[in-house]
Structure 1
Amino acid sequence: MVQVETKISSLFINGEWHDADSGQTDAVTNPATLQTITEVAYGGEFEAKRAIDAAKTAFTEWSEMSPRKRSRIMYKAHQLMLDDVDRLAEILTTEQGKPLKEAKGEIKGAANFLLWYAEEANRIYGEWIPSSQRRKRILVVPQPVGVVGAITPWNFPSSMITRKIGPALAAGCTVLLKPAPETPLSAIEIVKIFEKAGLPEGVLNLVTGDAKAIGEAMLSSRDVRLITFTGSTEVGKYLMRESADHVKKLSLELGGHAPIIVFEDADLDVAAKLTLGSKYRNAGQTCICANRVYVHESVREKFSQKLIEHVEALKVGDGSDPSTDIGPLINEQALEKVENHLNDAVSQGAEVVYGCSKWNGELDGHFYSPTVVTNVTDDMAVMNEETFGPLLPLQTFTDEDEAIAQANNTDYGLAAYIFSENLDRSLRVMERLEYGIVGVNDVFPATAEAPFGGIKQSGIGKEGGHHGIDEFVEQKYVSIGMHK
């Protein structure tokens, strides 16, 4: 694996790398081995405030720079990222745990966001609206929001960064980035890429450390005009409440509880293979992964058999091993949640048909075997909460209306999936599902060119596509009177 320095200056403020004022550091741990990888700076309120000041100062020049010049820097960052895929993927796997092949895919996807928004920087169009009055002209002028506070998660520590800072920078905003404490190394590398690409000082700032203190600095500052966050619904609600004093804009991608509906007319081979890919990618630590599967009772046995055959072939282990399919969970708390959900289900009558244990390999990390349970009921925790681990519950249904009602019976509304070879049914069910993202015979909907985001308690706003840049733009209405 790639070699990392034993201690890293991880605060990037106004174009310079710093240690924390206090000298404090925080350990970064490999979840597969539980060994310390390195120490990074443990910054807090004062460092965050300096970063906000730097972003505010840099905003004028960056926002007034031509979109073409901004896009050139982003094009270069995109290429630098692609040129370094292997090393960046190794760093990601070391700190986060996902298999190396998945990490490489994430790095390429992260680079794609930079490419997409390098192009979108030149397409932020205004409007000239025909006036109802002869001597009035009406213009709508798009302008960047201002300083952005970006808070990113550990499960996709590269792509979630570029999905936020890509449109922010393209729109002309400046950024304070706070990555998850579990995975700061990927954030450091992305900032270094932008530094190498020629991004002006103060445009992108990075502060690692005390999540609460850094977040409160963003919330209390009148200069931070937008907070973009990916994480739990609980934290998203907190950000909404605390943003009220300054009426900040918010873009929130929150928790999910994705259902998969397998109809009797589905291609069961495709459905089983893709359900496996959705559930066990990143060890189930994905906000849009299958959290509950509803299978028509007439195909339950066939589908379950095909699914379990695929699950049995999965290899658990260190993500740095090219043959590994499932890496570790991020920490001990994640392991405990999977066990609690499983124990709750079994105590209420669920049947374990595969798995059901921590992985007892040669490594000391947070591993759990891929597990499948049947005979689940709606009152079990696994059917109501986001497990975020490799535990898959199967439940049957008898008709279309029942399946839709079961799928919609949640406060979450991020992603849902349908397997059917009937086009009429697919369109009909898609329209009735209360989710921001619906996959039809597809469980990998995330892509740079499409809007990504949920409804209900899964968030507000969209990331990706031309819609994603709208979050970082204010529309200024200009009314021009003509008096001659």
Structure 2
Amino acid sequence: MENARNFYIDGKWVAPTDGRDFDVIDPSTEEATATISLGGQADTDAAVAAARAAFPTWRLSSKAERVELMESILDVYMRRSDEMGEAISREMGAPIEMSKVQQSGTGSFHLKAFIQSLKDFEFEGSLRAGEDDTHIIHEPIGVCALITPWNWPMNQITLKVIPALATGCTMILKPSEQSPLSAILFTEIMHEAGVPAGVYNMLNGDGPGVGSQLSAHKDVDMVSFTGSTRAGRAITIAAAETIKRVSLELGGKGANIVFADADPKAVAQGIARCFNNTGQSCNAPTRMLVERSRYDEAVTQAIDAANAISVNAASETGQHIGPLVSQMQFDKVQDLIQKGIDEGANLVAGGVGRPEGLNRGFFVKPTVFADCNNDMNIMREEVFGPVLSMMAFDTEEDAIAIANDTDYGLTNYIQTSDPEKARRVARAVRSGMVDINGKGRGAGSPFGGMKQSGNGREGGKWGLDEFLEVRAIGGWPVE
């Protein structure tokens, strides 16, 4: 990749001022697939200065200009969509077919949704009918640091970059150093689409380096971060000195509540959703709570579904899951599987070690634990691997209590054929999002959580609101 070692600052690809080499590892082979540069303070300062200089002009751009630019970005993105899927597959191990459809597809999905949301968005208007002399203005917050994770690179990059652009903000993107190739390609797309110099900047770096520097920088007005709850705490502390806005989308430990009257395919579908992307999704339904009268049957169905899942290299075609992203992630998941065994959970599928025939690469066996309780680590910690924990419940009230007994509150799932029960439980579980009977949420709906899952909302008009200041002006002259 031509620009692998460079940063994009003020509309140009530039060599690092304060950089050091970092190998990007192919998770399927454990070998370097590219070498990038990690930036330092001088690079961070240059990127922030470029964004700060571009803000006075870009904030005054019209909605029509921004829509036109976003449509240009979408056109270029669509032309390079397969290339994007290939980059993501190499860097973080998503199977190539899944990567081209799901991983790359999230980028165009969010671009289209934000274009429509921006067209519908009103930046100015009166407080209410009859009070036209009180005027409300939504204006861009300023320079934004956008820090994104490795697990769904284009999903998170477009959920931050595009609304920041749409609202008139300028920005610095710091992608995960473990999945930087897709961000470099995305930056080439932004350049080709004609984003004005300084409006969008990108530099690679790690969390303790560039991530911390951006979070604490006096000329950054907002930090939008997606990643671990631990890192979210550190960013919040770093940002507190300058009282900048911090938007966080953090971890999850979703409960999938399967009532006795659920669809017969609910368990198998829950396994598929849990293990998609090799379980590396913050909104994965990793706790399956099953009504006791159906529990034994559900465990058998989960065993069959897990054992039917194949594991293979990301470069191979076909329906399978790939490796975890890194040695660190592999070690963490192996440790949590062992903890589940040690704590007395009933291991009914998978377990520690690599799948048979895969002796190299960060591959994990699709794993299911039955007969868990909510005190176990595997029921409380975000595993971020292909691991499902199952537990029985007796009543609707028990199911709600177990689902809510967690530090997280991102996504919960409900499976029942009773519409009133579905509505009742959806209102009772404490999470930013709920999916009922496998039905996902529409384009432009808000993505975000409660409690230690974060405090932001991404997507649609809510995603635009994240990057706006609201001003109220009294005595506005009325024509």
Bin of the TM-score, shorter chain as denominator length: over 0.9
Task: State the TM-score, normalized to the length of structure 1.
Answer: 0.94
Which range is displaced more, 310-319 or 16-25?
16-25
Match of 1:230?
226
1:96/1:154 contact within 8 Å kept: yes
- Whole-angstrom CA distance in 2 between matches of 1:183 and 1:329: 12
Opposite residue 115 of structure 2, the aligned amino acid is A
| 1:114 Cα deviation after fit | 1.6
Residue 444 of structure 1: how far off its partner (Å): 4.6
Q: CA deviation at 1:443?
A: 6.5
> What is residue 391 of structure 1 aligned with on the other side?
387
Does the C-alpha gap of structure 1 residues 318 and 388 become closer, same or farther in structure 2, counting only changes over 3 Å? same
Instruction: Indicate if the aligned counterparts of 2:18 and 2:43 stay in contact, CA closer than 8 A.
Output: no
> Between Structure 1 and Structure 2, how many residues are aligned?
476
Contact 2:25–2:326 (Cα < 8 Å) also in 1: no
CA distance in 2, matches of 1:467, 1:16: 31
In structure 2, what is the equivalent of residue 259 of structure 1? 255
Match of 2:126 among 125, 128, 133: 128
Q: Deviations over 1:283-315 (max 9, x none)?
A: 111000012111111111222222322222211
1:163 aligns with 159
5+ long unaligned stretches in structure 1: none
Distance 1:444 1:334 in 2: 28
1:92 matched to 2:88? The reply is: yes
Map of 2:105 onto structure 1: 108
Select which of 448, 451, 454 maps to 1:456. Answer: 451
Structure 1: how far apart are the matches of 2:177 and 2:261?
A: 45
How far apart, in 2, do the equivalents of 1:278 and 1:384 lie?
Answer: 19
Cross-structure match for 1:343: 338
Match of 2:469 among 466, 474, 480: 474
The within-5 A match list for 1:26-175 is 26-104=22-100, 105-125=102-122, 126-130=124-128, 137-175=133-171
Q: Residue by residue, what CA displacement relative to the aligned partner does 1:32-51 show, whole Å, maximum 9, x if unpaired?
A: 10111111122121101110
Q: Give the whole-Å Cα distance in 2 for the aligned partners of 1:243 and 1:342.
A: 35
Query: Aligned partners of 1:471 and 1:184: how far apart in 2?
Result: 25
Deviation at 1:66, TM superposition (A): 1.2
Structure 2 counterpart of 1:332: 327
Q: Say which of 414, 419, 422 aligns to 2:415.
A: 419
Question: 1: CA distance between counterparts of 2:191 and 2:312?
Answer: 35
Deviation at 1:477, TM superposition (A): 1.2
Specify the alignment match of 1:284 in structure 2.
279
Matched, 1:273 2:268: yes
Between stretches 340-349 and 143-152, larger displacement belongs to: 340-349
Distance between the aligned counterparts of 1:443 and 1:456, measured in 2? 24
Matched AA of 1:403: A
The 2-side partners of 1:129 and 1:430 are apart by 33
TM-score between both structures, scaled by the size of structure 2 = 0.95
The structure-2 alpha-carbon separation of the partners of 1:190 and 1:481, relative to structure 1 and needing over 3 Å to count, comes to: closer
User: Counterpart of 2:384 in 1: which secondary structure?
Assistant: coil
Corresponding residue SS for 2:360: coil
The runs of 5 or more residues in structure 2 that have no matched partner are none
> Contact conserved, 1:78 with 1:112, CA < 8 A, in 2?
no
| 8 Å CA contact 2:271, 2:388 repeated in 1 | no
CA displacement at 1:268 relative to structure 2: 2.2
Q: Which SS does the other structure have where 1:41 is aligned?
A: strand
Aligned to 2:293: 298
Aligned-partner residue type, residue 353 of structure 1: V
Label 1:362 to 1:468 Cα distance change in 2 as closer, same or farther (>3 A).
same
The 1:56–1:35 alpha-carbon spacing in structure 2 relative to 1, beyond 3 Å, is same
Paired residues of 1:82 and 1:108 also in contact (CA < 8 A): no
Whole-Å separation in 2 of the counterparts to 1:156 and 1:23: 26
Determine the C-alpha separation between the residues in 2 that align with 1:210 and 1:151.
Answer: 10
* SS across alignment from 2:241: helix
Q: What secondary structure, in the 3-state scheme, does the structure 2 residue paired with 1:461 have?
A: coil
Query: Which deviates more from structure 2 when the two are superposed, residues 97-106 or residues 256-265?
Result: 97-106
CA distance in 1, matches of 2:129, 2:395: 53
RMSD: 1.9
- Using the alignment, how far apart are the partners of 2:143 and 2:22 within structure 1? 27
State the alpha-carbon separation in 2 of the partners of residues 159 and 244 from structure 1.
Answer: 27
Preserved contact between residue 167 and residue 468 of structure 2 (Cα < 8 Å): yes
8 Å CA contact 1:315–1:323 kept in 2: the answer is: no
* Match of residue 431 from structure 1: 427
Counterpart pick for 1:441 among 432, 437, 442: 437
Note closer, same or farther for the CA distance 1:130–1:259 as it changes in structure 2 (3 Å cut): closer
Could you say what secondary structure the match of 2:375 adopts? coil
Tell me: CA distance 1:69–1:131, structure 2 relative to 1, closer, same or farther (3 Å): closer
Residue 9 of structure 2 corresponds to residue 10 of structure 1? no
Aligned equivalents of 2:237, 2:146: Cα separation in 1: 17
| TM-aligned CA distance change 1:477 to 1:460, over 3 Å | same
Structure 1 CA distance for aligned equivalents of residues 18 and 220 of structure 2: 24
